[in-house]
Amino acid sequence: MANIRAINAWSEGATGAGINVAVIDSGIHFAQPDMAGRISGASTDVVPGRLTPDGPDDHGTLVSGVIAAGFNGFGTIGVAYESTIVSIRADTSDCSDPDDDVCFKSSDLVRAIDYAIAANVKVVNMSLGGDTSMGAAFEAALLRAVNAGIVFAISAGNEGEETTGGNPEWPGRYAVDPRFAGAIIVVGAHNSADVMAAFSNRAGVAATSYLSGPGVDVITGCDGTSCYRVNGTSFSSPAVAGALALLLQAFPNLTGRQAVQILLTTAREAGAPGTDSIYGRGLLDLVKAFEPVGPTQVSMASGQGVSVTRDRFAYTGGALGDAFRNAQGGLQTVGRDDFNRLFRVDLAGSYGMAPRGAANMLPLAPRRQAHLSVAGPLGSTLSLTTGAAVEDSPWDLAESTNVITPWLDERRREDMMLEFSAGRGAVAFWQGRNGARSPFELGAGDNFAALAQVDRAWLGAVKMGAVTLTADAGVGDRAMPFQAREEDVSSYARFAADWRTSPGSRLRFAVGGLDEKMGPLGSYAPLDSGFALPSTTTFGSVGGEFALRSNLFLNAEIGWARTDLAGRFLSLSETAVSSSWALGLTTFCKQLGFACETLNWSISQPLRTESGVFSAYLADSPAGYFDDLTFSERTFSATPSGRQIDMSLGSVHRLGDGSALSLRGMVTRDDQNVRAAPTTFTLMGSWGRTF
C-alpha cells in the first residue's frame, strides 16, 4: 500500500465501496477473517457439475486479499478495502503439466467471463496465464465483456526472461489487441525498491498497456494470528484491479476505459524515459492517479472558465505578501480535469508569493559603457550611451534572475540611451533588454515606477530656477523562459518636481499612474491564463534630503497608492491602499573619529497593502457528484499578515592606495510582509578603485 501510495486515495474518501470486483481464480475461503463482509453472495464455481466455490487452493483467497482485505485492526489492508469480491472459481486439477496443481481451461474461463458480465461487475482480475493464445471462444467472451464496460487487470506471468523477449503471457497479451485495447492492463511485478522482479515477465510487445505493481514480499491472507508472504505477478495484478475500483468509486462519471487510461497515463516513471519494453508505462501510482490530468477547468458564474495547471506560473506583487495564502478558503471551488472528474480546487494556490530578495540586496553588476557626445548649435548637446553587463561576470544580475524576476531569461543585460539637451531643457529616450534597469530614477516615486519593469522609457525635463520639473513614462514586456513573450503589459507615467530649498537640501514631489495588465503592484500572471488581474494604480510620493548640520543629513520619503482591478474571476470590491516609507541619516564619520569616510543608517518599509478587499463569485462544492453547480460570493482581505521593516547600517572606507571599501549590513523583519517569516540578516561588501 505504501509503494503505490494508496493512502492518498483513501484520504480523498476512496475505498472502493459499491464496486464489485470479479476474481476469476481458484475460489475463495468464505471464512477467511480478513475478508469478512467483503465477499459477495454471488460468488460461484463455473466448472460444470462441481458447485464448490470454496476450493482447497489458497491462491484465489490471497489474490482477493490484496484487493479487499478489510480495514479491521488486524492483518493487512486491501487497496480497495470496502469493495466487494465476486469470486468466480474456474480452476481444475486436470493439468497437462504434472508440476501444476491448479490450471484453467479456456472453456471454463469463457463461462467465468460470461458470469462476470451477468453479475454486473465493473472490474475483473485474472491472475493466470499461459504460453499460447486462448482461442476464438475466449476472445469472443472477452469482447462481450469489454463491450459491456468491464475492464481487466491480468498478470504478466512469472517466467521472467525465460519467455521469448520477456513478453507477457496470455491472456495478458490481449491488452494490445485492437479489439480489447484500452480495456485491459497487463501487470508486472517490482520490489520495494521499485526494481522489476527477476521472475516478472517484462512489458515487451504489450508495453503501451503494461503497468508494474508491487509483487515481492506481499502480505495477504491474514487470519488474525498469521499472514502469508507471497511473490508473483499474481499479487501485483490485484493491486491494479483495486486501483481501478478506487477510481470508479471516487469518480462515478468515469467509464472503465477512462479509469484504465488514467492509471496508464499517471504511472510513475521507471526504466528508460517514457514507455519502454521493461516497465511499459511505469509503476502504479495512486497519488498521480488522484490528481487532475491536464488543466483543471473551473467554471465561473459569468459562464467563462479558468484553466488551472499544476505548474505555478503566477506571482503576486510583494506588497500583497501572503494575503492570498491567508484567504482562508475564500478561493476554494471545484473544477474538472481532462476526464471530466470533479476536484476541489483552491485558486489561491495558483498564485505564488513574490520572489524573495530585492535588487538593493545584490552587488552591482560590472558593466561596460561607450559614450559619444556631439555639440550642436546654440549650446545644445546630443549624446548616445550604450552599456552591457560584463560577460561571465560572477556578479551579472542575470545569474540572480530567479531571486528577483523569475520571468526574465538569463541573457546579458544591455541598454542604450539617447539624450538631447539645450539651455534649461532636456529630453531623453532609453531602451533596455533582458531586465536592464531604467536610469530614470528621480528620487521620488521611484519604487512605484520600478514596478512596471519597463524596457522602454522617455523623459523630459525643464529647469526653472531652483525647481526642476520632469515628466517620464515607460512601457515594459515580460518573458518567462519557455513561454510566449507578453508585449506592452505594464506601463507608468510620472510627473515630478525637484526643489532645491537651500545648499545641501532639496524637496521632491511625484504623482503618477501604473497600468499593469498582468496583475497589481508588480504581480505576474500570463494574460491568457485566466489568472491575470488587470489593474490601474495612482500613486504619489514626497521626499527629500535635508542638512541638519554641516556633517549630518536626513533622507526621507513617503509614498502611497490606490489600486483597482477586475480579473476574470477576482476583483477588488474595496480599493486597495498601499504605502511605503524610508528614513535615513548620513554623516561624514571622519569628524566623529571613526575610521571611515561616510556612515549611513536607514530604516524603511517597502511597499505594503494597507487595506482592500478581494471579491469573487465561485462555484460551491456540490452535495452530490452529479448535482448542478451553485455560486456564491467569497471575499478576503488584500492586507498581508506582517509589515516588512528593513534596517541597515553602511560605511565607506578610503584605503591608502586610493581605493574604497564599502560595507553594509541589513536586518529584515517580517520578510515579504509575512508575520511568521524569520528575521533575516545580510552583510555585503564591495571594493573598487577609479583610474
pLDDT, tens only, 640-672: 999 999 999 999 888 878 788 889 999 999 999
Task: For residue 418, report the phi and psi dihedrals to the nearest 5 degrees.
Answer: -115, 125
> Which amino acid does the sequence have at 684?
M
Residue 504 three-state SS: coil
Give the position of cell 498469521: 226
Helix (H, G, I), strand (E, B) or coil at 118: helix
From the candidates 43, 59, 190, 337, give the one annotated as an active-site residue: 59
Cis amide bond preceding 171, omega within 30:
yes
The x, y and z cell numbers of residue 447, run together, are: 519604487
The verdict on whether 106 is a catalytic residue reads: no
Residues 72-84 pLDDT 10s: 988 999 999 999 9
Exactly one of 25, 45, 108, 670 is catalytic; name it. Answer: 25
CA–CA dist 452, 473 (Å, integer): 10
| Residues contacting residue 60 through CB under 8 Å, at least 6 positions apart | 23, 25, 26, 27, 28, 87, 89, 91
Closest of 476, 444, 437, 442 to residue 461, by C-alpha:
442
Is the Cβ–Cβ distance between 134 and 123 less than 8 Å? no
- Computed over every residue of the chain, the mean pLDDT equals 90
Higher pLDDT, 366 or 344: 344
SS (H, E, C) 11-41: HCCCCCCCCEEEEEECCCCCCCHHHCCCECC
- Told to judge if 632 belongs to the known catalytic residues of this protein, a careful annotator would answer no
Q: Phi and psi (nearest 5°) for 67?
A: -80, -50
Q: Among 105, 93, 102, 121, which residue's Cα sits nearest to residue 22? A: 121
List, for residues 283-293, the tens digit of each pLDDT value.
999 999 999 99
Verdict on whether the full-model pTM lies above 0.75 = yes
Would you place residue 171 in the very low, low, confident or very high pLDDT band (cuts 50, 70, 90)? very high
C-alpha–C-alpha distance, residues 539 and 535, integer Å: 13
List 200, 234, 350, 541, catalytic entry: 234
- Give the rounded percent of residues in the chain with a pLDDT score beyond 90: 69
Nearest Cα to Cα of residue 295 among 228, 357, 341: 341
Which residue, chain included where needed, has cell 480497495?
80
Beta bridge partner(s), residue 25: 89
29 is known as an active-site residue: no
- Give pLDDT tens digits for 333-346: 999 999 999 999 99
β-pair partners for 639:
none
Q: Which pLDDT tens digit goes with each residue over 103-133?
A: 899 999 999 999 999 999 999 999 999 999 9
Q: Is there a contact between 353 and 317 (Cβ–Cβ < 8 Å)? A: no
CB of 496 closer than 8 Å to CB of 469: yes
> Rounded to 5, what percent of the chain is helix, strand, coil?
20, 40, 40
* Sheet strands side by side (includes 151-155): 44-45, 84-89, 20-25, 123-126, 151-155, 184-190, 210-214
DSSP 63: H
Other C-beta atoms within 10 Å of 334: how many? 17
- The arithmetic mean of pLDDT across residues 262-268, rounded, is 98
DSSP state of 566: B
Radius of gyration of the chain (CA): 35
Angstrom distance (rounded) from CA 306 to CA 524? 16
Q: What is the pLDDT of residue 512?
A: 97
Domains of the chain (ranges; CATH) run 6-289 (3.40.50.200), 359-688 (2.40.160.10)
How far out from the chain centre does Cα 426 lie? 48
pLDDT value at 595 more than 80:
no
HEC sequence for 263-321: HHHCCECCCCCCCECCCECCECCHHHHCCCCCCEEEEECCCCEEEECCCCCEECCHHHC
Confidence of residue 399 (pLDDT cuts 50, 70, 90): very low
Does residue 310 have a pLDDT over 70? no
How many C-beta atoms surround the C-beta of residue 597 within 10 A? Answer: 15
Cell of 579: 504605502
Check residue 364 and give its pLDDT: 52
Q: How far apart are CA 546 and CA 35, in angstroms?
A: 84
Contact 138, 110 (CB under 8 A): yes
